[in-house]
Chain A
Amino acid sequence: MSKRYRQVQAVDNITFAIQQGECCGLLGPNGAGKTTTMEVIEGIHSADCGEILYHNKPINASFADEIGILFQHTSLMDFQTTAEVLQMFQAFYPRTLPINDLIAQCNLTDCVQRYATQLSGGQKQRLLLALALVNDPKILFLDEPTTGLDPQSRRHFWQLIAEIKKTGKTIVLTTHYMEEAATLCDRLLIMDAGHIIASGAPHQLLVNHFGDEARQRNLEDLFLTLTGHGLRE
């Protein structure tokens, strides 16, 4: 799959597969093409060339019923309570989870009657996660879900994702936090300048690149070794 925005080749001829039930992490510096890759799979953008297959068939309109998305930047309509936002999104899908279950699952009980625009950063991310889960998706796309959260909120969010993982859902995650990737992801795709430059399980990647030193190294070392120390934007 390839995707170009005017002068920028955002994604350049990449091919990969995601297995059912795995948590696949996309890592890469800013501008590497992670979000574009994810949004092409989600159907938000169309690819310039290539094809997205779901169960070996090209995706179609019904794919939207199968996926849940948490974008990097999202606003919600003004003056809607948490419960009302969830009810609105429920109406878009033929099959949904009960709102009370979502509220409990995402720890939103204390802010059910508060306007979504008045929630704290952590509460807002949990609401966006609940929206992504409203249709009980088979695949969950999380684009930098913990960026901007304090360490407590971030770790709490990781627990939520870990719980979701246990239900067998497939998760595609982008992040700049190496600890997050190491904690949550079964497999990593490391991207740079629109290409996939490495892929594999986190520990396997460390072993492949650092050999005997793998125990003393971490994913950040690997990331910097693969993508360099220079600024990208």
Chain B
Amino acid sequence: MKSFWSIYRARNREFYRDKGSLAWTFAIPLLIVFAVNYAFSERVETFFEVGIIGSADQLPAWDFLHQPYTDIIYYGKGNVGEKTAMKKLLHHELDLLIRIGTPHTYWLNDTSPRGQLIADIIGYQDDHQSVRNEVSGQKIRYVDWAIPGIIGMTIMFGGLFGAGYVIVRYRKNGVLKRLQATPISKTAFLSAQIFSRMTILLMSGIIIFTGSHLWLNLVMMGNYGLLFLVLLVGSGSLIALGLVCSSRTNSEELAGGLLNFFSFPMLLLSELWFSLDSAPEWMQWLSGVLPLTHMVAAARAVMLDGAHFLDIAHHLIILTVMWIVFLAIAVSLFRWHND
């Protein structure tokens, strides 16, 4: 344990005494948050977002549904599709949700101005055969939806590259070889790397969250401790994956290629910037095997839906298993030197 804490402290010193690295690590994510807020807060939407549960052939005969300014999004029948669509209506991501049937059933959000506008339009056009329901939910701005993704992205890059490149540098310049000549074990060394990096990444996540909360009035419906737990296991799994990528090589180019192999799919498929609800099934499956997807989904559920522990337990279990498996692989593949 003494060895572990010794490496942990040394690695932390390496980070916080490098002022340039320190500043960039914390400043860049905050700049991205403000850029996203600025870019999307002035957006003028020119159409209604309508969710449909059921077949396209049996849409109600309301004119506005067939106009170019209305975007129709179809959700699968059953609990999962309906639950997803309802959540979007609650967050004002949908203005109207219709379940096709006889009669049709539709839901509006009574706190949404556009939802009320649709209610008035339907009032003129409806044959009074449809069943109307109302739900209430706070509007989720794009920046509220994006911030869990930005925190996740920061942790992903910091975990994969921050941990991976350091190991390659240590191996290349002989730091690891010198440590090999001491009684420290691979497990103690790698665990110290993980926990040191995790400390930095969690601080980074807290700074992004606090900055967004103070200046952008970020939505936070759930428990702070639970969000912290999500970021903790998420960062653990991503750092351990970074260590797998750097477990043997002393080539920065090779390590960079391996790290990009994992980071690019996560950047595109882990729902950082956009939802994959309407993406092909294979893409959604691929998204589901990536650790960042689970971390962002769980963080978003806690922050935007007020999810409890049991609601996100499956994400936490998957991330914990990934963390253990990646660490075991990293320890078994790890070499102190490549002479």
Residues of A within 8 A of B (CB): 5, 42-45, 61, 64-65, 67, 69, 71, 73-80, 84, 87-94, 131
Find chain A residues with CB under 8 A from B2 CB: 91-92
With A74-B174, A88-B7: A44-B181 Cβ-Cβ less than 8 Å = yes
Q: How many residues of B contact A (CB 8 A)?
A: 26
Find chain B residues with CB under 8 A from A77 CB: 10-11, 14, 170, 175
The CA of A73 and the CA of B174, in the complex, are separated in Å by: 7
In the complex, the chain B residue whose C-beta lies closest to that of A42 is: B181
A75 in contact with B175 (CB, 8 Å): yes
Instruction: List CB contacts (< 8 Å) of B1-58 with chain A.
Output: 2-3, 5-7, 9-11, 13-14, 17-18
Q: Is B105 an interface residue (CB 8 A)?
A: no
Find chain A residues with CB under 8 A from B3 CB: 91-92
A80 in contact with B174 (CB, 8 Å): no
In the complex, the chain A residue whose C-beta lies closest to that of B4 is: A91
Between-chain CB contacts (< 8 Å), 6 pairs? A44-B180, A64-B183, A69-B181, A89-B182, A91-B2, A94-B183
Find chain B residues with CB under 8 A from A90 CB: 6
The contact string, 1 if C-beta is below 8 Å from chain A, for chain B 170-193, is 100111011011111000000000
B5 in contact with A76 (CB, 8 Å): no
The CA of A77 and the CA of B6, in the complex, are separated in Å by: 12
The contact string, 1 if C-beta is below 8 Å from chain A, for chain B 322-339, is 000000000000001101
The CA of A5 and the CA of B180, in the complex, are separated in Å by: 20
In the complex, the chain A residue whose C-beta lies closest to that of B182 is: A92
B6 in contact with A87 (CB, 8 Å): yes
A44 in contact with B18 (CB, 8 Å): no
Q: Shortest beta-carbon distance, B166 to chain A, in Å?
A: 9
Selected from B6, B174, B339, the residue in CB contact (under 8 A) with A91 is: B6
B14 in contact with A88 (CB, 8 Å): no
The CA of A94 and the CA of B2, in the complex, are separated in Å by: 10
A80 in contact with B14 (CB, 8 Å): yes
The CA of A71 and the CA of B182, in the complex, are separated in Å by: 12
- List the 10 closest pairs (A to B, CB-CB), nearest first: A91-B6, A75-B173, A79-B17, A92-B182, A91-B2, A69-B181, A64-B183, A88-B6, A74-B178, A74-B174
Known: A67-B181, A87-B6. 10 other contacts (CB 8 A): A42-B181, A71-B181, A74-B177, A74-B178, A77-B10, A77-B170, A80-B10, A88-B6, A88-B9, A90-B6
The contact string, 1 if C-beta is below 8 Å from chain A, for chain B 77-90, is 00000000000000
Most central of A65, A67, A75, A93 by chain B CB within 10 Å:
A75
B10 in contact with A75 (CB, 8 Å): no
Find chain B residues with CB under 8 A from A131 CB: 178
A93 in contact with B182 (CB, 8 Å): yes
The CA of A74 and the CA of B13, in the complex, are separated in Å by: 20
Find chain A residues with CB under 8 A from B13 CB: 79-80, 84
The CA of A131 and the CA of B174, in the complex, are separated in Å by: 15
Find chain A residues with CB under 8 A from B178 CB: 69, 71, 74-76, 131
In the complex, the chain B residue whose C-beta lies closest to that of A115 is: B17
Find chain B residues with CB under 8 A from A88 CB: 6-7, 9-10
The CA of A67 and the CA of B174, in the complex, are separated in Å by: 18
The CA of A49 and the CA of B79, in the complex, are separated in Å by: 66
A71 in contact with B177 (CB, 8 Å): yes
Find chain A residues with CB under 8 A from B17 CB: 78-79
Q: Shortest beta-carbon distance, B339 to chain A, in Å?
A: 7
Q: Shortest beta-carbon distance, B93 to chain A, in Å?
A: 46
In the complex, the chain B residue whose C-beta lies closest to that of A81 is: B13
A64 in contact with B174 (CB, 8 Å): no
A92 in contact with B175 (CB, 8 Å): no
The CA of A114 and the CA of B24, in the complex, are separated in Å by: 25
Q: Shortest beta-carbon distance, B313 to chain A, in Å?
A: 37
A92 in contact with B174 (CB, 8 Å): no
With A44-B337, A79-B17: A71-B174 Cβ-Cβ less than 8 Å = yes
Find chain A residues with CB under 8 A from B182 CB: 64, 89, 92-93
The CA of A186 and the CA of B223, in the complex, are separated in Å by: 70
The CA of A131 and the CA of B181, in the complex, are separated in Å by: 11
Q: Shortest beta-carbon distance, B8 to chain A, in Å?
A: 10
Q: Shortest beta-carbon distance, B334 to chain A, in Å?
A: 15
Q: Shortest beta-carbon distance, A37 to chain B, in Å?
A: 14
A61 in contact with B177 (CB, 8 Å): no
Find chain B residues with CB under 8 A from A92 CB: 2-3, 6, 182-184
Find chain A residues with CB under 8 A from B10 CB: 77, 80, 84, 88
Q: Shortest beta-carbon distance, B177 to chain A, in Å?
A: 7
The CA of A42 and the CA of B17, in the complex, are separated in Å by: 33
Selected from A61, A64, A80, A84, the residue in CB contact (under 8 A) with B181 is: A64
A78 in contact with B18 (CB, 8 Å): yes
Find chain B residues with CB under 8 A from A84 CB: 10, 13
The CA of A75 and the CA of B181, in the complex, are separated in Å by: 13
Find chain B residues with CB under 8 A from A73 CB: 174
Find chain A residues with CB under 8 A from B6 CB: 87-88, 90-92
In the complex, the chain B residue whose C-beta lies closest to that of A64 is: B183
The CA of A64 and the CA of B9, in the complex, are separated in Å by: 23
Q: Shortest beta-carbon distance, B21 to chain A, in Å?
A: 10
Q: Shortest beta-carbon distance, B214 to chain A, in Å?
A: 31
A75 in contact with B14 (CB, 8 Å): no
The CA of A65 and the CA of B181, in the complex, are separated in Å by: 9
